[in-house]
């Protein structure tokens, strides 16, 4: 019997996008929901996102921690952004703002999230991570050097790898490994401002993935970010509004 897995991630505090995607996911009636991390930083409603995600977790969803979740929970910016020689003040400001709007219980929950989860389909292992197997910060972008890509995706025995981090929806089959990045639910970089998610179907030893996009009102979310007035918010708002990284 086929197993269906709904995947989403990179919500980034955008509860409107999350709720829109979840309505569509509920219609798809998946057997399992997985979330690839980066839950709260940048968007206007971090507490509401955590509240909704924790309800999903109580219903059986599997959630992993993203690199920006580390920044928000513990202000460990070197761990969250190891590729930066110096972390911009705008990153620190939005992490601190987000931290202040979360309860102690919410922050403790963020800290407890694992870096990886595994779904045991009847004849297949599916890995859920943020960046790539074994790393919350080493992503799997389409333009990654092929030798580095192979090195990263073979750090697991899983047939399917569900990841996030790049904010670009992508499905690539390398024979022994299927890489599925559902894209960003709340902070897209690929030119489509809709809420991104993916639906995987595992049938025996065959796995397929379909990328989905759900429309919502990104203008309202962008306006909330603009009104906040933190350093960098003009760019964050433009990113939410257009679905393209603006900086």
pLDDT digits (tens, 9 = 90+) for 126-176: 999 999 999 999 999 999 999 999 999 999 999 999 999 999 999 999 999
pLDDT at 54 over 90: yes
DSSP class of residue 27 equals H
Q: Indicate the pairing of strand 3-8 with strand 195-203.
A: antiparallel
Instruction: Determine what percent of the chain falls in helix, strand and coil, rounding each to the nearest 5.
Output: 35, 25, 40
User: Is the separation of the CB atoms in 179 and 140 below 8 Å?
Assistant: yes
Domains of the chain: 3-242 (3.60.21.10)
Q: Which two tokens stand for residue 234?
A: 């003009």
Please state whether the predicted TM-score (pTM) of the whole model is above 0.85: yes
Which whole number is the average pLDDT over 1-14? 96
Give 12-52 pLDDT, tens digit per residue: 999 999 999 999 999 999 999 999 999 999 999 999 999 99
Q: Is 231 helix (H, G, I), strand (E, B) or coil?
A: coil
Instruction: Write down the pLDDT at residue 1.
Output: 78
Give 185-231 pLDDT, tens digit per residue: 999 999 999 999 999 999 999 999 999 999 999 999 999 999 999 99
């Amino acid at each position: 019997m086929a197993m269906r897995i709904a995947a989403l991630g990179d919500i980034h505090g955008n509860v409107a996008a999350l709720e829109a995607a979840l309505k569509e996911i509920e219609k798809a009636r998946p057997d399992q929901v997985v979330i690839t991390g980066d839950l709260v930083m940048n968007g206007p409603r971090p507490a509401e996102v955590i509240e909704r995600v924790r309800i999903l977790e109580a219903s059986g969803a599997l959630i992993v921690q993203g690199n920006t979740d580390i920044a928000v929970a513990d202000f460990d910016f070197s761990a969250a952004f190891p590729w930066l020689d110096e972390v911009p003040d705008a990153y620190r400001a939005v992490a601190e703002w987000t931290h202040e709007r979360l309860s102690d219980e919410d922050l403790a929950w963020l800290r407890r999230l694992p870096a990886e989860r595994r779904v045991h389909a009847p004849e297949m292992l599916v890995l859920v991570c943020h960046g790539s197997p074994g790393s919350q910060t080493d992503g799997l972008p389409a333009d990654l050097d092929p030798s580095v890509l192979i090195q990263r995706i073979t750090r697991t025995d899983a047939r399917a790898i569900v990841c996030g981090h790049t904010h670009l929806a992508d499905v690539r089959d390398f024979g022994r490994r299927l890489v599925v990045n559902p894209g960003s639910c709340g902070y897209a970089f690929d030119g489509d401002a809709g809420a991104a998610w993916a639906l995987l179907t595992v049938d025996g030893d065959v796995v397929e993935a379909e990328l989905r996009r759900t429309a919502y009102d990104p203008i309202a979310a962008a306006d909330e970010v603009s009104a906040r007035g933190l350093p960098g918010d003009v760019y964050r708002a433009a990113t939410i509004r257009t679905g393209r990284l603006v900086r």
